[in-house]
Amino acid sequence: MKRRSRLIVGALILTVALMVVGAFGVSRISSSDEIDTAADSDVISPDVVAASAGPPAATLEGLIDQLQTRLEAIPEDHVSWSTLGIAYVQQAKVTADPSLYARAEGALDESLEVEPDDNFLAYAGLSSLASARHDFVAGKDYAEQGLEINGFSPILFGALSDAEVQLGNYDAAEAAIDQMILLSPDTSSYSRSSYLAELRGDIPTATSQMQAALDGAATPTDRAFALTILGDLAFNAGNAGDALTLYNRAQEEAPQDTASLAGKARAEAALGQTRTALDHYAELVERSPEPSFLISYGELLESLGMTEEAEQQYAIVETVQTLFEANGVESDAAPVLFFADHAEPQRALREAERAVAVRPFIAMHDAHAWALYANGRYDEALAASERAMELGTPNALFHFHAGMIHLALGDDDQARTELTTALEINPHFDPLDAPLAAATLAELGDGG
């Protein structure tokens, strides 16, 4: 999977006031076939809002300023410290600035210093922070500690389900989501249920659950989030035109939303609206230089023969990835695939082996398979690819990787099957790999 968390990268929720949240985002397979932590919407209850703030803030930056002002006056307010920590996690995602994770950690630690016992919200924040850094073992542990304090918190069940998914514990994730839906049948819980259905290949259920999430969305941010996920589902199924309509609707709801802008650019490129797509990608990476966005932009440029411009984006990827690593963010699928595709196979494999050992999620198995392939270890690559597809997820990039691995092993028939499947799922799944799949199939012929 390349490029984006669809995410989705996190979202804020406005209830009575602007509430934090994206910190508890669902990690989804994006239309660009990357895994992203895209926020769904977790709501902190109105009583928490009332306890931590005055009149509602209108933006994330406003909420942070409001909380900082309150804490200067009332430094013993542990709820505001926790909320500030979660807001910093969200801001880090929105801006692709991982240095904010240290501020989040400091705020959450301060919250626990003030109230070390009855403080489930701090553990929810610590879970979101750990997951943002791709430490899902810690994310699960913190969520479980929070649930020991408050066993009826939908936020904590959401955080637990997110960690369980990334740890490959899909049945445990489903159990946590079921509890979340019982406690709070809303945009946040339905979007998680949708994601699990998507992973298991049940796209009709995934779509209906996201429609339920949209129907229950109370704010423009929530509606933009749900519309973006619906757009991704449409794009991943090869319906770029429908996807673009949904992304445009999301942009109308929340013009500053980066996830829907990324989807919009991707769909425009698939529909041949190349100049517009490039303009939107340039706007996107200016707003949020997140590695998967930079990679998507670079690969579109490369597919158009704009090699020098593509290399400029790839150079930024290296810089940003170094910044992420320096701030404790573990590798995910996007950088592994990037290194494998851009002449750094050994680095790709090192990153993949470390990541898949602690995060045995299907996207990491696929990235591991591709890194093994790039290093000529085809039998091992095939085994990893099979693990990536064990849930039956209809992911075009997974099938493309499997096809190329089979081809390297001399199994032309299975290579033909996998590459055909990839293009049937989504003929525009990647600006570089989709044309390569089509060209490879043409070389293979019909096998007759």
Query: For each of the chain's 448 residues, which pLDDT tens digit applies?
Result: 333 233 322 332 233 233 343 334 455 554 333 333 333 334 344 344 444 445 556 678 889 999 999 999 999 999 999 999 999 999 998 888 999 999 999 999 999 999 999 999 999 999 999 999 999 999 999 999 999 999 999 999 999 999 999 999 999 999 999 999 999 999 999 999 999 999 999 999 999 999 999 999 988 989 999 999 999 999 999 999 999 999 999 999 999 999 999 999 999 999 999 999 999 999 999 999 999 999 999 999 999 999 999 999 999 998 988 888 888 888 889 999 999 999 999 999 999 999 999 999 999 999 999 999 999 999 999 999 999 999 999 999 999 999 999 999 999 999 999 999 999 999 999 999 999 999 999 999 876 5
* DSSP letter assigned to residue 430: -
**Left, alpha or beta for 11 (phi > 0: left; psi -120 to 50: alpha)?**
beta
Residue 76 backbone phi and psi in degrees, to 5: -90, 10
Helices (H) then strands (E): counts for the chain: 23, 4
Between the CA atoms of 374, 376, 379 and 384, what dihedral angle is there, to the nearest 10 degrees? -20
Q: Which CATH architecture has domain 13-272?
A: Alpha Horseshoe (1.25)
Q: Which residues of 37-52 are buried (b: 16+ CB within 10 A; e: fewer)?
A: bbbbbbbbbeebbeeb
Q: Looking at the domain covering 333-444, what would its CATH class be? A: mainly alpha
Predicted pLDDT at 13: 27
Asked if domains 13-272 and 333-444 share a fold, the reply is yes
Domain map (residue ranges) of the chain: 13-272, 333-444
Predicted pLDDT at 57: 61
Q: Residue 39 has which token pair?
A: 């926020």
Q: Residue 338 has which token pair?
A: 């990037």
Predicted pLDDT at 62: 87
Length of the chain: 448
Q: What pTM does this model have? A: 0.88
Predicted pLDDT at 59: 76
Residue closest to 158 by CA, chosen among 138, 133, 134, 183: 183
DSSP letters for 234-249: HHHTT-HHHHHHHHHH
